[in-house]
Amino acid sequence: MLVAPSILTANFTKLNEEIEKIQSADYVHLDVMDGHFVPNISFGPHITRSINHVSTIPLDIHLMVTDPLYWIDQFALDKTEYITVHIEANDTEEALKKIKEKGIKTGISIKPNTKVYDIVPFLNDIDLVLVMTVEPGFGGQSFMEDMMEKVKELVELRKQKKLHFIIEVDGGISDQTIDICKDSGVDMVVAGSYVFNHKSPKEAIESLK
């Protein structure tokens, strides 16, 4: 299992130390919120550039924004491996093309009320599908187990169509929910509170892996 701790729940007054604690993970996950697409604001390009500078592992950037086309250039950093945009946002197709033009892997995300059917036209051309297992916008929510049906549907579509995207889930991930993720076919998990509130973030990451 690939693990991407969400920096959203880190202590931003000790950002260097917090990033150092998670260097055994596979990615640093960054939830970028614009206060419009979701009712919260997180951080922007300046802090992301700081994280890019100090991290030794690649960045997995999740744009929870209404207009992703406006933001892509600002998050296309040298350690950015994935940029994920929402099917529910504006200009999704153009945004995915722009990410690809930057030489960055493309991701598409769906909220809990969005069906897998809505992203089927994009599956041939993307590298990652992010299934939200909570309502996006805030950390610390409970895991929505019924979202695993979407994961299983994606696993079947990937097999049928011989595609290669990975399946990521975000929300409520802990040692209590990791097994159902694995059994459903998840390839990568985003974990915020569980990792950063753990007495040993390294142990938390290992328990998920």
Q: Which is catalytic among the residues 26, 60, 127, 170?
A: 170
58: tokens are 């690649």
- Both tokens assigned to 124: 């041939």
Q: What distance in Å separates the CA atoms of residue 195 and residue 172, rounded to the nearest whole number?
A: 11
Q: Tell me, yes or no, if 31 is annotated catalytic.
A: yes
Is position 170 annotated as part of the catalytic site?
yes
Q: Is 102 exposed, middle or buried (0-12, 13-18, 19+ CB in 10 A)?
A: middle
The per-residue DSSP string of 141-188 comes to: PPP-GGGHHHHHHHHHHHHHHT---EEEEESS-STTTHHHHHHHT--E
Please identify which of the residues 31, 34, 60, 127 carries the catalytic annotation. Answer: 31
> Could you tell me the two tokens for 29?
């996950």
Looking at the annotation, which residues are catalytic?
31, 170
